[in-house]
Structure 1
Amino acid sequence: MLRFDEAKVCVRELDWKMAWPPPVGTYDPSDPSRYLWSASEVEEAEKATVLFAADVIYSDDLTNLFFNTVKKLMSVGAKKVLYLALEKRYNFSVDELDVVANGYTHFRSFFTAQDEHGDPSNRSGPGFVGKQIDPAEIPQYIREYERGKDLEMWMIMYSPEEKQHSNSTKTVFSF
C-alpha cells in the first residue's frame, strides 16, 4: 500500500487462496506474522481507487485465485482500476503440438477487451473489462532492462451487478 499523505509503503501478505478480507492482526515488528493486515489497512484497501499487479499470471489455478481476489476487492468500497503488467510465458503443448502461451489465453478469458473507441466489445452484464496499454507510452526508468515483445500492460476495471457507493481516496494498493 502506498500512502501519499505519509510517503511510505506498507508490505502486507495477501494469500489468494483465502477469502477477502484477509485475516487481521496486530503490528509487532518482532512477530513473524508482522505482515498481517490491520482492520484500518483492510478499510484503506477497500477505499483505494488504484491497484497494481505484475508477474502474477503463471498457472490457470493461480490466475483463477488472483481474479477471484481482485473481484472481491474491486466489488467493495470505491470504484477501482487495476493496472497489470505481465510477460507471456510460452510452453510446448502436446495437445496443439505447438509452442503456445496457455496461461495467457486463460488470463484473457477473464475480461472483455475494450475496442479502439473505449467501448467493451461483446460485453453483457457484470464482469471485468480491460484495455491494453502500449508499453511505449510508459516511461522506462531502469535503463539496464530491455522490454521484450511479450510484455503487456493492461488497465482492468470491474463492473459489479449492483452499483456500489464510492468514497474516493488517494490510497494505492499493489499486489
Structure 2
Amino acid sequence: MPTTRSRAALAGGTANAARLFVAALAFTSAYVGLSAYGNARSAAAPVRTVTLSAREMPIARPLVAATPTSARAGAVTVTADGAAGCAPSYVARSLLTEAAPGQGALYRWRLSRWSPATGTWRTFLTEHGGFAAGERAVEWRPRISGNPGWYRVEVLAEGAAPARSDRFLVSC
C-alpha cells in the first residue's frame, strides 16, 4: 500500500509540473508575439533640433587690486581676494558716514546676480552691519562658489542713496 501511494503522488506531481510548464510556455510565446507586434507598429520619434545661442558681454571694468584706504564715499570697489582667475571670495569696500552726528549708522550689503531670464538684478547674498562713529571705511567679503554669472555689490545705508559697484564676471 505505501508503494501505491508514492506512485500516485509521483504521477500527480509530474502531471502538475507538466501543466505548469505548458502554461509558462504559452505565456512566454504570447509575450514575445505581443512585444514583436508592438515594435513592428511603432514609428520612430520625430527629430527635434534645438539651437543654443550665447551672448557675449564685455566686462564693465576689470577687477584691480585695491588697498583698504581706497574706499570712497558713495562708491563701492570690489576686488578678487586671492589669485587671479577663480577667486571664491571677493572684497567689497566703501566709506560710510553717519546721517546725523552722534546717531550711528546702520547699513546693509547686498550681492546681486544678473538674471538673463528676467532681465533684472536679483539678490544673492546680504549682510547687515552698523557703527557708532562719524565715518568708517567698511568692508565685506562675500563668497561665490560654483555659480558663474554677472554680479554687483551694493551698500545701502539709512539716510543715503545706495552705492553700487561696477558689475563683475564670476566664471567658475
Pick the structure with more strand per residue.
2
Q: TM-score range by the shorter chain?
A: under 0.3
Larger Rg: 2
In the superposition, the TM-score normalised over structure 2's length comes to 0.22
Pick the structure with more helix per residue.
2
In the superposition, the TM-score normalised over structure 1's length comes to 0.22
